[in-house]
């Protein structure tokens, strides 16, 4: 069977989902009318105008809001990831759910040429563009990707004028909460925001692109009448002081209560059954390194970023692709620690077997290091216990920093609290957290893992904080794991601050970049 026929069969199967709005679900039918190159729904011509939403990138609290906004834009179907069977009802209106692949186009593509190519492989049947790109994803250290509204609506009009079916990818991008961002090859990790410059923003806000897309769709079919759900209000809760409570090394009894795994050579994350987050690799220096001595990873074996210290003194960073060696100092028998971060897996093609951790041996002055203790870190459980400390331990743990020639500090946890007045109506509301002076790390609010921040690299400067994780009944706890350098590291009594603001910043100027050749679009 030709590949396009298989795609159409998958699409047809997905459309054979019973709709709750019909009196008798068994009466709904979807068929392909090959004679007229179209779909039929219940015997009538049906044009499939769909939008992509990744439910795992949108809090369940907001599913109904996002789906209803998509419906009001004129979409009559939803495309999701995974083998989803069933239907989703929004205010008694039902969207069929589908999983399918066919033609791929972005704004500015020659639409006629693209569909001629599809006809070359499938002379008959409905024309389909299953991934019409409304924007594009970002990478750390590169400019925020945008596609102009003008380009999107022009190409969308051409697609619909051809009588084709279309899926807008993405209609809402959402957020890569926790450790769920992906990466591309050559290795480029994606940030926490998956805004995608889509018609609905990361926070579900209505954009000018949303209304422009709706205006195009209404030229070809009727769009629902009635009010469109508004953008959710945002609230600036202000600055919150954070106090350092523990370094990662000092937290191992909480983060790895079962103790380390011993191995002659390094093991990968998978081998120690750690699939996300962090693993601490520890060994001892086999020789004196009074002079700076090269520590390196053969074959680029640091996947993806390692924070290196000797006897609690930060030495620097090894990272995948660009920082494959550094010079360290220490004495024979000193403890060498590498806190290795999984920055996100490559999620397509031949590179999907993306092993994490130390994937090859580490050498010191060309000698292979052995006898490792490997600590898989359970940060989610650990943060739950760390939140109980409330920063009561204010001892200065960074006395060794004065002897370090690097600009880095030991990876450490910081905690702070803020209250939301219960007497103010309509609170809590959505917000965004900003990290003035911070470098790179992970943040949790009330135990919910918001994701990674990396303002030093950009372009994303704020993280989306949905209202449902905030409370008015008790103080809200913020825990930050700063991996490289906190703004208050040089003076222990000094407090660090984060700030809750009411506007996102996902397109700040880039301070670090390995740009590939390609086309960028700007509004």
Phi (first) and psi of residue 93, to 5 degrees: -110, 140
Number of domains in the chain: 3
**Domain match, 362 and 263 both:** yes
The alpha carbons of the chain give a radius of gyration, in whole angstroms, of 26
Instruction: Identify whether 50 is part of a domain.
Output: yes
- CA 456, 505, 154: angle at the middle one, nearest 5? 120
**Domain match, 244 and 189 both:** no
CB proximity list for 336: less than 8 A, separation 6 or greater: 282, 283, 284, 285, 295, 308, 309, 310, 328, 330, 369
**Domain match, 288 and 237 both:** no
User: What number is the average pLDDT over the span 342-347?
Assistant: 95
**Domain match, 245 and 268 both:** no
**Domain match, 469 and 506 both:** yes
Instruction: Identify whether 88 is part of a domain.
Output: no
**Domain match, 429 and 284 both:** no
Residue closest to 139 by CA, chosen among 512, 484, 523, 433 = 512
Residue closest to 413 by CA, chosen among 254, 179, 190 = 254
**Domain match, 250 and 262 both:** no
Residue 376 · residue 313 · CB < 8 Å = no
**Domain match, 453 and 506 both:** yes
Higher-confidence residue of 199 and 514: namely: 199
pLDDT at residue number 322: 82
Residue closest to 146 by CA, chosen among 208, 86, 239 = 208
Summarize pLDDT for 107-145 with one digit per residue, the tens: 767 888 888 888 888 899 999 999 999 999 999 999 999
Q: What residues make up the domain containing 346?
A: 258-377
Residue closest to 30 by CA, chosen among 68, 71, 76, 89 = 76
Q: Which residue has the tokens 């990674």?
A: 452
Summarize pLDDT for 473-500 with one digit per residue, the tens: 999 999 999 999 999 865 555 789 999 9
Alpha-carbon gap, residue 46 to 32, rounded angstroms: 10
CA distances from 128 to 115, 118, 292, 372 (A): 8, 9, 60, 54
**Domain match, 162 and 125 both:** yes
- Residue 495's Cβ-count burial label (10 Å; 0-12, 13-18, 19+) is middle
Q: What is the CATH number of the domain that holds 343?
A: 2.60.120.260
111-121 and 149-161 helices cross at what angle (nearest 10)?
Answer: 40
Task: With a cut of 50, say whether residue 449 has pLDDT above it.
Answer: yes
pLDDT at residue number 154: 95
Instruction: Identify whether 227 is part of a domain.
Output: no
Token representation of residue 513? 């970049």
Q: What is the CATH number of the domain that holds 38?
A: 3.20.20.80
Residue 371 · residue 382 · CB < 8 Å = no
Task: With a cut of 70, say whether residue 218 has pLDDT above it.
Answer: yes
**Domain match, 280 and 321 both:** yes
């Amino acid at each position: 069977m030709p590949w396009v026929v298989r795609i159409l069969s998958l699409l047809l199967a997905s459309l054979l989902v019973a709709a709750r709005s019909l009196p008798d679900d068994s009466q709904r039918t979807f068929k392909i009318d090959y004679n007229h190159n179209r779909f039929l729904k219940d015997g009538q011509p049906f044009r499939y105008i769909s939008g992509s939403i990744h439910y795992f990138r949108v809090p369940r609290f907001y599913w109904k809001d996002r789906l209803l906004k998509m419906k009001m834009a004129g979409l009559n179907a939803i495309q999701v990831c995974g083998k989803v069977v069933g239907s989703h009802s929004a205010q008694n209106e039902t969207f069929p759910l589908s999983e399918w692949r066919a033609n791929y186009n972005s704004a500015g593509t020659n639409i006629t040429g693209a569909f001629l190519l599809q006809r070359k492989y499938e002379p008959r049947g409905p024309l389909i563009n299953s991934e019409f790109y409304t924007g594009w994803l970002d990478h750390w250290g590169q400019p925020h990707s945008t596609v102009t509204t003008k380009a999107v609506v022009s190409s969308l009009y051409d697609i619909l004028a051809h009588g084709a079916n279309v899926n807008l990818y993405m209609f809402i991008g959402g957020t890569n909460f926790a450790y769920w961002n992906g990466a591309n090859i050559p290795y480029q990790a994606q940030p926490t925001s998956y805004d995608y410059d889509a018609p609905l923003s990361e926070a579900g806000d209505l954009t000018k692109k949303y209304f422009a897309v709706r205006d195009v769709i209404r030229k070809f079919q009727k769009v629902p009448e009635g009010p469109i759900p508004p953008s959710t209000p945002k609230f600036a809760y202000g600055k919150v002081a954070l106090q350092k409570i523990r370094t990662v090394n000092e937290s191992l009894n909480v983060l790895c209560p079962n103790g380390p795994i011993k191995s002659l050579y390094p093991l990968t994350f998978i081998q120690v059954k750690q699939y996300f987050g962090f693993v601490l690799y520890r060994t001892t220096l086999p020789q004196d390194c009074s002079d700076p001595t090269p520590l390196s990873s053969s074959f680029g074996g640091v996947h993806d970023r390692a924070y290196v210290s000797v006897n609690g003194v930060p030495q620097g960073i090894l990272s995948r692709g660009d920082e494959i060696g550094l010079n360290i100092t220490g004495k024979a028998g000193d403890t060498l620690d590498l806190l290795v971060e999984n920055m996100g897996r490559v999620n397509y093609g031949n590179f999907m077997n993306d092993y994490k951790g130390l994937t090859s041996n580490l050498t010191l002055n060309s000698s292979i290091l052995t006898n490792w203790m490997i600590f898989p870190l359970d940060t989610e459980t650990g943060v739950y216990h760390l939140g109980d400390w409330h920063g009561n331990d204010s001892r200065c743990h960074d006395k060794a920093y004065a002897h370090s020639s690097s600009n880095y500090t030991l990876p450490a946890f910081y905690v702070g609290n803020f209250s939301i007045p219960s007497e103010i109506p309509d609170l809590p509301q959505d917000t965004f957290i900003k990290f003035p002076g911070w470098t790179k790390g992970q943040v949790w609010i009330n135990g919910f893992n918001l994701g990674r921040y990396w303002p030093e690299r950009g372009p994303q400067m704020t993280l989306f904080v949905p209202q449902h994780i905030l409370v008015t009944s008790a103080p809200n706890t913020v825990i930050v794991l700063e991996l490289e350098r906190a703004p208050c590291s040089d003076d222990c009594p000094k407090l660090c601050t984060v700030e809750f603001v009411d506007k996102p910043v996902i397109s700040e100027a880039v301070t670090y970049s390995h740009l590939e050749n390609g086309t960028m679009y700007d509004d």
